[in-house]
Amino acid sequence: MTMRILLSGLLGAGCTEVAETLAKQDEAKIVNSVEAIKDLISERGESFQLFDMESRSGEFDLDVLLRNKALEYIDDFDDLIIEGRLALLVLDHAFDLKAFLTATLDDRIAHVASRRKISKEQARKIVQHSDKEREHVVEKLFDYPLDLCRFDVVLNTSTYGFERAAQTLGEFLRKPKR
């Protein structure tokens, strides 16, 4: 039986940690924007610097490339978790479970600062920019706003933590949809 999960959320809400916990339970492949970009660079046989320069110059639309790469992952892997921002790029596809993670702004800032080893002020700017950008990318690709009703479940990791969020999502996967 295949298991396909779309796990998105706000930056710093713990998508990566929750995905890693879920993948351990079910031996699923995890993909996110970082992995997709690495795969794209490798396939193109160019340096990160050249890839970045071409992206910034408008040589290609990075979101379209990432979406196409995510669609390849969907075709290639039966047990798959697409997490983070990359998940938003395939929001229009069917998954066994679509989940969105949120957390308080302060918790998200602290998490990003800790993971990236940056100041909280730097993390605040990154988180606030990411929030706007994630809303924009959905509207750009699908011509509709980021609406949490498009997800099966929304969890607040400030309330439940990463481990419990993963356990809860695992329970949702084991129970049939109505």
In the block, residue with structure tokens 């800032």: 109
Q: What pLDDT is attached to residue 9?
A: 97
- Region of residue 12 (phi > 0: left; psi between -120 and 50: alpha; otherwise: beta): left
- Strand, coil or helix: what is 50? helix
Q: What is the pLDDT of residues 8-52, one digit of tens each?
A: 999 999 999 999 999 987 789 999 999 999 999 999 999 999 999
Domain parsing of the chain, residue ranges: 3-174
Domain 3-174 indexed as CATH 3.40.190.100: no
pTM (predicted TM-score): 0.93
The three-state secondary structure class of 92 is coil
Report the percent of the chain where pLDDT is more than 90: 92
pLDDT band of residue 111 (cuts 50, 70, 90) is very high
